[in-house]
């Protein structure tokens, strides 16, 4: 295929059988998030560029280097969303959702776009499932969100992930910490990477988020934010931990967890795989108590997270436990004439909600049985001369070879049989 006809670098197709794992994960998320009162929200993939610049922050990697920004034909600067929270907050304020009873809880799924260096677990179009809860500042809601994530991850078979939590303080206590951190960094500033030296002036906390090994090493005994929290922030964080303990949710404290977006306040968290490496974060989130106001809304504290779908799908695929079941039925007609009866049966059974396949072409019974087996069908129905004469179909359960007959028009029992109900 010609290079310029291929999908652009960092953009990938999702094709069967992998799509089944995607669907499975999305279905389970929808189901479990609903148990916690989260409703789906659908926001556009394009926003005015300002929506992201003002919320994520001008001096972040996302805004500085990663956004797909373009002018539309009328000269407006638009951006393909690099993340979901800013759009959800924009939607929340624009639609006056804050007038609904608190907490207002929403979730979304969909593609995000970042111009990053593509590699395993890192794409330029990637999908997130995210959730946001507005209008409650009590730490209980932070705990509830972590509990929901825990339920969801163990439901899809991912029990052994690491949950790290931190509090990055508020406008009252963060400036004090910032100063202490700057004082610490200043003495060894030459030892840090170029990005970190720049971050030192603009946002020193981000030095703690740097993935360069020498920077991690150099900042290993930097002062930690949790020693600088004000009374409110530290009470909030303490209560959160109590709730998590009571819910029996395992977590680790990581005072270096500062996140790469400017809007966070207070609680931050990340869920990572135990495999080392920089692509090991599957979920990230935290509080952003001031963001709604920045969009012109009322004071509405909020907390949320985003799950990286590709990384989750990889983890679930590696375990090899989620398998798409095959069709309930593979129908074999031994000649073209019997197909007229066959397609009627097929239509009825599909209409009753069952996945049914049929052999095409004029191949032998043997080769059609092979096809049925390869498709992973639960049952085959066979219609041949004897069956038509006797007005019945022959069925065979492929797993154990059990056979029997049903009248050609007994769709109800056919459906029961295929669904593995007693007939
Ligand atoms: P990372 O540290 O891996 O760059 P991040 O802090 O930039 O992640 P967030 O913006 O918080 O990530 O997004 C939440 C989740 O979305 C991440 O934990 C990750 O699973 C996923 N994610 C982020 N960027 C990408 C990408 N380029 N490709 C695939 N998944 C991604
Ligand atoms: Mg990133």
Neighbours of 60 (CB within 10 A): 22
pLDDT of residue 157: 94
pLDDT of residue 42: 98
Lowest mean pLDDT among 118-122, 260-264, 302-306, 342-346: 260-264
**What is the 8-class DSSP label of residue 63?**
I
What gap in Å lies between CA 204 and CA 197, rounded to an integer? 9
The pLDDT of 181-203, averaged and rounded, is 91
What gap in Å lies between CA 294 and CA 239, rounded to an integer? 27
What residue ranges in 220-312 does DSSP mark as E strands? 252-253, 267-272, 281-287, 302-308
Contact call for residues 358 and 343 (beta carbons, < 8 A): yes
Per residue in 146-166, pLDDT tens? 999 999 999 999 988 999 999
Q: Which is the closest atom of ligand 1 to the Cα of 278?
A: 3
CA of 131 to the centre of ligand 1 (A): 15
Summary mean pLDDT of the chain = 94
Q: What backbone torsions phi and psi does residue 343 show, to the nearest 5 degrees? A: -70, -25
What gap in Å lies between CA 297 and CA 318, rounded to an integer? 44
CA of 66 to the centre of ligand 2 (A): 9
DSSP strand pairing (403-407 vs 281-287):
unpaired
Residue minimizing CA distance to atom 12 of ligand 1: 284
Per residue in 54-83, pLDDT tens? 999 988 889 999 999 999 999 999 999 999
Contact call for residues 418 and 410 (beta carbons, < 8 A): no
DSSP strand pairing (125-134 vs 162-167):
unpaired
Q: Which is the closest atom of ligand 1 to the Cα of 282?
A: 20
What gap in Å lies between CA 56 and CA 188, rounded to an integer? 29
Angle 174-187/194-202 helices, nearest 10 degrees?
Answer: 140
What gap in Å lies between CA 95 and CA 89, rounded to an integer? 10
pLDDT of residue 261: 80
CA of 420 to the centre of ligand 1 (A): 43
Residue minimizing CA distance to atom 8 of ligand 1: 281
Domains, the chain, ordered by start: 18-173+229-319 (3.30.930.10), 329-418 (3.40.50.800)
CA of 209 to the centre of ligand 1 (A): 13
Q: Which is the closest atom of ligand 1 to the Cα of 122?
A: 28
Contact call for residues 402 and 380 (beta carbons, < 8 A): no
pLDDT of residue 278: 62
CA of 65 to the centre of ligand 2 (A): 11
Q: Which ligand is nearest to the CA of 263?
A: 1
SS3 286: strand
Contact call for residues 125 and 113 (beta carbons, < 8 A): yes
Residue minimizing CA distance to atom 25 of ligand 1: 122
The pLDDT of 207-220, averaged and rounded, is 91
CA of 311 to the centre of ligand 1 (A): 9
Residue minimizing CA distance to atom 22 of ligand 1: 308
CA of 317 to the centre of ligand 1 (A): 19
Q: Which is the closest atom of ligand 1 to the Cα of 260?
A: 6
CA of 162 to the centre of ligand 1 (A): 16
The pLDDT of 289-307, averaged and rounded, is 97
Q: Which residues line ligand 1 (CB under 6 A)?
A: 83, 114, 116, 121-123, 126, 128, 260, 279, 281-284, 306, 308, 310-311
Residue minimizing CA distance to atom 28 of ligand 1: 122
> In 3D, which of 292, 293, 289, 294 has the Cα closest to residue 138?
289
């Amino acid at each position: 295929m010609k290079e310029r006809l291929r999908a652009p670098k960092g953009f990938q197709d999702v094709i069967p059988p992998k799509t089944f794992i995607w669907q499975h994960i999305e279905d389970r998320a929808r189901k479990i998030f609903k148990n916690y009162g989260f409703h789906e929200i659908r926001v556009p993939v394009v926003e005015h560029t300002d929506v992201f610049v003002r919320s994520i922050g001008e001096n972040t990697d996302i805004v500085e280097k990663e956004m797909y920004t373009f002018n539309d034909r009328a000269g407006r600067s638009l951006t393909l969303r690099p993340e979901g929270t800013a759009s959800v907050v924009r939607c929340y304020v624009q639609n006056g959702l804050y007038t609904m009873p608190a907490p207002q809880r929403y979730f979304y799924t969909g593609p995000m776009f970042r111009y990053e260096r593509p590699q395993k677990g890192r794409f330029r179009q990637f999908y997130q499932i995210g959730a946001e809860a507005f209008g409650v500042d009590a730490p209980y809601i932070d705990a509830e969100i972590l509990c929901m994530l825990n339920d969801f991850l163990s439901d899809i078979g991912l029990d052994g992930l690491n949950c790290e939590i931190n509090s990055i303080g508020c406008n009252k206590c963060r400036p004090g910490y910032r100063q202490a951190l700057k004082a610490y960094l200043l003495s060894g500033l030459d030892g840090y990477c170029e990005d970190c030296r720049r971050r030192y002036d603009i946002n020193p906390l981000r030095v703690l988020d740097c993935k360069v090994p020498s920077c991690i090493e150099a900042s290993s005994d930097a002062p930690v934010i949790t020693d600088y929290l004000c009374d409110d922030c530290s009470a909030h964080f303490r209560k959160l931990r109590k709730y998590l303990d009571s819910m029996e949710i395992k977590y680790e404290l990581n005072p270096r967890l500062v996140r790469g977006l400017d809007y966070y306040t207070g609680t931050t968290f990340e869920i990572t795989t135990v495999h080392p490496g920089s692509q090991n974060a599957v979920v990230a989130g935290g509080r952003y108590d001031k963001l709604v106001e920045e969009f012109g809304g009322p004071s509405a504290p909020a907390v949320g997270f985003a799950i990286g779908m590709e990384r989750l799908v990889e983890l679930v695929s590696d375990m090899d436990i989620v398998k798409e079941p095959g069709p309930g039925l593979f129908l074999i007609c031994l000649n073209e004439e019997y197909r007229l009866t066959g397609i009627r049966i097929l239509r009825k059974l599909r209409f009753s909600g069952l996945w049914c396949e049929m052999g095409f072409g004029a191949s032998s019974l043997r080769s059609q049985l092979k096809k049925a087996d390869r498709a992973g069908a639960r049952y085959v129905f066979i219609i041949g001369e004897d069956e038509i004469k006797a007005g019945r179909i022959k069925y065979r359960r492929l797993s154990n070879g059990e056979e029997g007959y049903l009248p050609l028009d007994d769709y109800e029992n056919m459906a029961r049989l295929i669904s593995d109900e007693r007939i």
